[in-house]
Structure 1
Amino acid sequence: MRKIYIPTSGAASWQSLLADPEKHWRMGYSARTLAHCWEASDGLPTEVAALFGSDAELLIAIPEHKVSLRDTGRESQTDLFALIKANDRTIAVAVEGKVNETFGPLIKDWFAEPSPGKQQRLQFLCDLIGIGCPPPDHLHYQLFHRTASAILEAERFKTDDAAMIVHSFSAENKWFDAYAAFLHALGLTADCERLVSKRLANGRVLYFGWAKGDPKFLIA
């Protein structure tokens, strides 16, 4: 995992950081849309700032940030990692950009005939998030490792709290039901454009939020 980062020179700078720069950098898709939205904002996009309160401030944002899940498997590549200050607290935030793309494979598919490595990873993720293992089959694996990324980076940067935010540019909030199902398994009720939270075993508060992005960035 790289430890030295350089500033971007605009949205186009994000393309080279993608796992597949040609396939994933397309107009109307999440990677490009998210890049143009955040680069155009003076700090936090309005809809993301609204989740955290009137004094929310972006301290730093790192596109396509890789987070080790403390095993020999692939790192979790977060669309955007941010440190945010709000209400005099610092928050490690994993941002998942979405338009119409799914949250990837379901647990029932990803965990079918699991290798020892997958068993170890899923147990680690569930313990970290605070959910029984194995979790319900209908949940999406991506939401587990994206949430874990926020928690792990909160520990690494010693922030007060952690957050996993879905920044959606879908007019019909596509896949909100999948996000809501994941939160339900954690004992939470999802609410579009409002944070919900749970306290982790380590004392930090873990926030979840669904922000509705400006559709103008779909054609940027």
Structure 2
Amino acid sequence: MGKFFVPSKGVLSWKEFLADPIKQWKKGYSAFELAVSWGNAHNLPYTVDNVFKNSNITLFQNIEVLYGFPEYKVPLPGGNASSQNDLYILAKAHNVLIPIMIEGKVAEPFGKTVDSWLGDNPSEGKRKRLAYLLQLFTLEEESVKKIRYQLLHRAASALIEANRVNACNALMLIHSFSKTAAWFEDFVAFVELFHISPKQNTIVGPVQFQNVNLYFCWITDVNNI
């Protein structure tokens, strides 16, 4: 039943999908700001549209949003916990599909590092999941120990969805509403694993995994804060 979706009745419809609506649905919190920014946009939010259109990557200069799925879960091997993405946008440009996985941020961090998430005695499920992620990105365990685990499985979500819809391109997008771009350094550390140096408000990449060109982008958007 989890694969069926209904049309939104407006921004407030997004609230019901949150784990803790009372705590998370407040102005200045990422869930609220992301919902307002994307839910009220005709196509793309202004700041996102500006970054995409000014990109030197032709693919992103004429993006059309087809569908959006708030709090979208992507199953991963190793346990029952899915990667719950703040927003999944299925877009189109130049007659090709582009899955965009979006993580909204204000002040909250990206969670535990891989090392901390594993713990001293990791379960078989955690070992299986990490092995899957390492194989997906052709990385060694030692190289990701200090990387935020959330960033790994969010990027994996973009690749998985691209394969599901037979898309050759995908984008992992961090939409930050922090005036100080809090936790940007964690994003940099993650993307640099693939020998790319990211900048704010710039699309970088691609890196190819499983025949999918994966792009990365961090957008700092303080227009409405």
- TM-score, with structure 1 as normaliser: 0.92
Distance (whole Å) between structure 1 residues aligned to residue 38 and residue 13 of structure 2: 12
Which of 49, 66, 70 is residue 73 of structure 2 equivalent to?
A: 66
Runs (4+) off by over 4 Å = none
Which of 200, 207, 211 is residue 208 of structure 2 equivalent to?
A: 200
Query: Is the contact between residue 78 and residue 124 of structure 2 (CA under 8 Å) also seen in structure 1?
Result: no
Decide which moves more: 48-57 or 14-23.
48-57
Which of 135, 147, 158 is residue 139 of structure 1 equivalent to?
A: 147
Unaligned runs of at least 5 residues, structure 1: none
Which residue of structure 2 lines up, in the alignment, with residue 28 of structure 1?
A: 28
Shift of 1:134: 4.3
Query: Is the contact between residue 165 and residue 208 of structure 1 (CA under 8 Å) also seen in structure 2?
Result: yes
Distance (whole Å) between structure 1 residues aligned to residue 89 and residue 126 of structure 2: 28
Counterparts of 1:19-168 in structure 2 under 5 Å? Answer: 19-53=19-53, 54-113=61-120, 114-168=122-176
With over 3 angstroms needed to count, the CA separation of the structure-2 counterparts of 1:73 and 1:141, relative to structure 1, is same
> Considering only aligned residues, what root-mean-square deviation do their CA atoms show, in Å?
1.6
Deviations 1:167-201 (A, max 9, x none): 00111111111100111122111111111113323
- Flag the structure with more relative contact order, 1 or 2, with Cα contacts below 8 A and sequence separation at least 6: 1
Shift of 1:23: 2.2
Distance (whole Å) between structure 2 residues aligned to residue 183 and residue 199 of structure 1: 10
Shift of 1:10: 1.4
Distance (whole Å) between structure 1 residues aligned to residue 83 and residue 3 of structure 2: 15
Deviations 1:92-150 (A, max 9, x none): 11100001110011112101221111011011112212322243322100001111111
Decide which moves more: 30-39 or 154-163.
154-163
Distance (whole Å) between structure 1 residues aligned to residue 10 and residue 97 of structure 2: 26
Aligned positions, number: 217
Which residue of structure 1 lines up, in the alignment, with residue 57 of structure 2?
A: none
Secondary structure of 2:62's aligned partner: coil
Counterparts of 1:9-24 in structure 2 under 5 Å? Answer: 9-24=9-24
2:101 maps to a residue whose letter is A
Question: Does structure 1 residue 184 correspond to structure 2 residue 161?
Answer: no
Distance (whole Å) between structure 1 residues aligned to residue 19 and residue 166 of structure 2: 28
Distance (whole Å) between structure 2 residues aligned to residue 203 and residue 174 of structure 1: 32
Distance (whole Å) between structure 1 residues aligned to residue 154 and residue 144 of structure 2: 17
Query: Is the contact between residue 49 and residue 57 of structure 1 (CA under 8 Å) also seen in structure 2?
Result: no
